[in-house]
């Protein structure tokens, strides 16, 4: 074992709470993060509106107090930027977010000039499919990369092995972010125009399920975003993760008890609970969909978790 491998194996695997992808009210967000600060077993928390620029005005005043609250509780705070900015206000928000002073996670290359010369994180909305792209971003200051959800697990190992200095992270829990669009599907479904959307996406705090005509649970919509209906549950053993070279897992917030989810994953990563125990406990929670993990097994992402 090389020195790097040794230190990797000995470091505790990080656990991240990703940004809330859904249209939650400021009150709900304040309550949610207060509990996360006090009780969740995660060491890093991402804040910020990642999906829709139209939602930003409702929450932008909230972040300073939440940053303080979470930091006071010992959490590392990361500000995640918008994944598909295009109008001037959205672009300005991306640039501003990168300049607050906290560590920024970029989700579109629009943010790259704004993080020049300082460390930053790369979110799962940026296309890092190979070691060349990862190396390029690391050369620009990326210290951590959350890889795209569809990236084959074999590619994860190749990329991580090439860049031991970068902390690679995988999306481990939650509905999978699958697609973004210029069109708002919530507005379209409700017969509204995006510009006059009435923020109807706030009715579906875990996204709105999309079933096939034969009643199969398939996808979910969240404004301009399409997610999986299935809930990703990547539950590796500590050894499997070390072999992959992955040093951090991401939990994506849902209305389910995220404190409970964080504790289950912490126990799994610390070797105190088996994969089977963790999956059974996750399944017992009030989840919005079936457990899936195909992407992490070289299968279609919709492949169900095989319970042990």
Partner 1 sequence: MSLELVCPAGTPSALRAAVEAGAHSVYCGFRDETNARNFPGLNFSPDEMIEGVRFAHAHGAKVLVAINTFAKAGAMDAWKAALANAEKAGADAVILADLAVLDHAATHHPNLRLHLSVQAAAATPEAIAFYADTFGVKRVVMPRVLSVEEIAKLNAAIDVETEAFVFGGLCPMTEGRCSLSSYATGKSPNLTGVCSPPEHVAYSEDKNGTATRLNGFTIDRFGAGEQAGYPTLCKGRFMAGGKTSYLFEDPVSLNAASLIAAFAKAGITALKIEGRQRGKGYVTEVVRTFRAAVDAIDAGSTEVEVGRLLAGLVEGGRQTSGAYKKAWR
Q: Are 270 and 283 in contact (CB under 8 A)?
A: no
Select 64 or 300, whichever has its Cβ closest to partner 1: 300
Q: How far is the CB of 74 from partner 1 (least distance, A)?
A: 34
Q: How far is the CB of 18 from partner 1 (least distance, A)?
A: 16
Q: Which of 6, 99, 183, 304 binds partner 1 (CB under 8 A)?
A: 183
If binding is defined by CB under 8 A, does position 176 make contact with partner 1?
Answer: yes
What is the residue-wise DSSP string for 254-277? -SS-HHHHHHHHHHHHTTSS-HHH
Interaction residues for partner 1, span 134-163 (CB under 8 A) = 135-137, 148-152, 154-156, 158-159
Interaction residues for partner 1, span 12-71 (CB under 8 A) = none
Applying CB under 8 A, the span of 24-32, 131-139, 233-241, 244-252 interacting with partner 1 comes to: 131-139
Q: From start to end of 63-109, where are the E strands?
A: 76-80, 103-106
- Cα separation values, 226 from 25, 134, 182, 193, 246, Å: 20, 25, 12, 18, 26
Q: Which of 10, 165, 215, 306 binds partner 1 (CB under 8 A)?
A: 215
Q: How far is the CB of 261 from partner 1 (least distance, A)?
A: 22
- Cα separation values, 298 from 72, 129, 221, 235, 302, Å: 40, 15, 25, 15, 11
Q: Are 46 and 79 in contact (CB under 8 A)?
A: yes
Q: Which of 141, 164, 205, 209 binds partner 1 (CB under 8 A)?
A: 209
Select 223 or 236, whichever has its Cβ closest to partner 1: 223
Interaction residues for partner 1, span 262-301 (CB under 8 A) = 294-295, 298-301
Interaction residues for partner 1, span 91-130 (CB under 8 A) = 91, 94-95, 108-114, 125, 127-130
Applying CB under 8 A, the span of 13-21, 43-51, 67-75, 190-198 interacting with partner 1 comes to: 190-198
What is the number of other CB atoms lying within 10 angstroms of the CB of residue 271? 10
Q: Cα dihedral sign for 176, 260, 245, 118?
A: positive
State the Cα torsion 245-250-51-35 to the nearest 10°: -160
């Amino acid at each position: 074992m090389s020195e790097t491998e040794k230190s990797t194996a000995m470091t505790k695997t990080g656990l991240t709470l990703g940004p809330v992808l859904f249209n939650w009210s400021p009150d709900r967000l304040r309550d949610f993060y207060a509990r996360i600060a006090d009780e969740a077993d995660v060491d890093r928390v991402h804040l910020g509106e990642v999906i829709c620029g139209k939602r930003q005005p409702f929450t932008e005043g909230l972040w300073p107090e939440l940053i303080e609250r979470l930091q006071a509780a010992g959490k590392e705070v990361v500000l995640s930027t918008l994944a598909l900015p295009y109008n001037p206000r959205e672009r300005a928000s991306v640039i501003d977010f990168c300049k607050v002073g906290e560590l920024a996670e970029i989700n579109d290359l629009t943010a790259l000039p704004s993080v020049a010369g300082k460390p930053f994180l790369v979110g799962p909305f940026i296309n890092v499919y190979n070691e060349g792209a990862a190396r390029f971003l690391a050369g620009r200051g990326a210290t951590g990369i959350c890889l795209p959800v569809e990236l084959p697990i074999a590619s994860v190992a190749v990329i991580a092995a090439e860049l031991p200095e970068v902390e690679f992270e995988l999306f481990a829990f939650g509905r999978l972010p699958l697609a973004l669009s210029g069109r708002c599907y919530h507005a379209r479904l409700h017969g509204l125009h995006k510009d006059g959307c009435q923020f109807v996406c706030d009715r579906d705090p875990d996204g709105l399920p999309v079933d096939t005509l034969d009643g199969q649970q398939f996808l979910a919509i969240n404004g301009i975003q399409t997610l999986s209906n299935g809930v990703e549950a990547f539950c590796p053993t500590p050894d499997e993760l070390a072999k992959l070279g992955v040093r951090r897992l991401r939990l994506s917030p849902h209305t389910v008890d995220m404190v409970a989810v964080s504790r289950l994953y912490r126990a799994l990563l610390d070797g105190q609970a088996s994969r089977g125990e963790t999956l059974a406990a996750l399944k017992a929670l009030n989840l919005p969909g079936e457990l899936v993990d195909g992407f992490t097994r070289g299968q279609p992402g919709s492949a169900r978790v095989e319970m042990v």
